[in-house]
A and B are shown apart, each in its own frame.
Chain A
Amino acid sequence: MFEFLENLGKATRSSFAKLGRSTLFLGHTLTGIGDVIPRPNLLIKQIYSVGVLSFLIITISGLFVGMVLGLQGFYTLSDFGAEESLGVMVAASLVRELGPVVSALLFAGRAGSALTAEIGLMKATEQLSGMEMMAVDPVKRIISPRFLAGFISTPLLAALFSAVGVIGGHLVGVGMLGVDDGAFWAQMQANIDFQQDIINGVIKSIVFGFVVSWIALFEGYDAIPTAEGVSRATTRTVVNSAFSILGLDFILTALMFGDI
């Protein structure tokens, strides 16, 4: 009984300690961003590895998600004789929800896990301590450029995802199933509001990019410097990112679209 209470207390304390460490880490990372700007090469290299290398998976997934939406939407809407609304349905679901959420999930799986493993391995091979020895701040030099790169890349990837998805929906709906081309675009444009839908979608993806980059980098930085520790940290990155994305998505949607 006492052992159980002891363990409970320990777990609670360590989770609070972790939250505290991660917040301090975020503060440290954010202050390091100022040092990244005079050295754009660091940033470009990271945008390449988190953004450009995620480009393919994002566009292909976006295309298929849009095509599935077109197909499923068509069969449901045609029951009500409302095939013309297919464009609105595809675009609204992509721009509001699927674009930011799915691209952030893919980003966490593709880029977040890689970041954690990279940082964790740097820690395990004592590269980070080596930098400290040379009076180079590893957070400013290693973490901040990666954070900024993730933060910049996610909204761009989400926008790509949504745009390609709409094209995929158009391909299936208009190209294969014979929805009227004009009605597809006209209804979409009449019902998707720039401020309400597109700006809110971009805000969502910025928030997700911030959170996923933070989680991935912190888990790597905080990993136990062993092979097992790094592998666990990588798993935690993907799991925690997925939880945070979906939970935050609910909160953001309630704030943006609901009257809560």
Chain B
Amino acid sequence: MQHSKTQDTLVGLFVATGIAALFYMALQISNLGSYSSDDTYTVIANFQNSGGLKVKSPVSIAGVRIGRVSSISLDKETHESVVEMQIESKYNNLPDDSGASIYTAGLLGEQYISIDPGPGISGDFLKDKSKIDNVSSAIILEEMIGKFMLNKAEGK
């Protein structure tokens, strides 16, 4: 069977462009480019209500993302929401009296955990499996509206 060199080259070019497009999608379009496979350590916080927080929601300090939520489960005895988060190991100098709060990005945006670094009185840092005690729960819009309405009604 006859075949030409040009055809080989064109097929090669085609396959190369296709693979390049796949790489382009992986690196430019998806989160793979910003994905960090660095080591992480786990920090646990119990919230009274974790609201709309989801697995993979960001964990940030001062707006900088330092990790992600890895699991959310219910503590059967206290009926609190147990949130585990993976924090990148390079941020290993968070004082152990830091606080965690659940905030909403924008009025209706997704929820995330914000860590407020504490004064560090004991001089210890958060380690793997440490627990954050100073927490404040998610702000639930419906609850707020409910309270507001109640206050209004009582005020009259």
Among the listed A157, A160, A193, A202, which residue makes an inter-chain contact with B31, where contact means beta carbons less than 8 Å apart? A193
Top 3 nearest A-B pairs by Cβ distance?
A156-B18, A163-B21, A159-B21
| A residues adjacent to B (C-beta < 8 A) | 41-42, 44-45, 47-48, 51-52, 55, 91, 95, 152-153, 155-157, 159-160, 162-164, 166, 185, 188-194, 197-198, 202
CA gap between A158 and B17 in the complex, in Å: 12
- Docked-complex contact B3 and A55, CB < 8 angstroms: no
Please report the C-alpha to C-alpha distance between residue A153 and residue B14 in the assembled complex, in whole angstroms. 9
Between A and B, 6 residue pairs with Cβ closer than 8 Å are A44-B8, A45-B7, A52-B10, A159-B25, A189-B28, A189-B29
Structural contact, B21 and A192, CB atoms closer than 8 A: no
Query: Between A and B, how many residue pairs show CB distances below 8 Å?
Result: 90
- Given known contacts A42-B1, A159-B22, is B11 in contact with A193 (CB within 8 Å)? no
Is B148 close to A, CB under 8 A? Answer: no
Determine if B30 is an interface residue (Cβ-Cβ < 8 Å): yes
Apart from A47-B11, A156-B15, A159-B18, what 6 extra A-B contacts exist at CB < 8 Å? A45-B7, A48-B14, A95-B29, A156-B14, A162-B25, A194-B31
Quick one: which of B21, B33, B34 contacts A160, CB cutoff 8 A? B21
Interface string of B46-68 (1 = CB under 8 A from A): 00000000000000000000000
| B3 close to A41 (CB less than 8 A) | yes
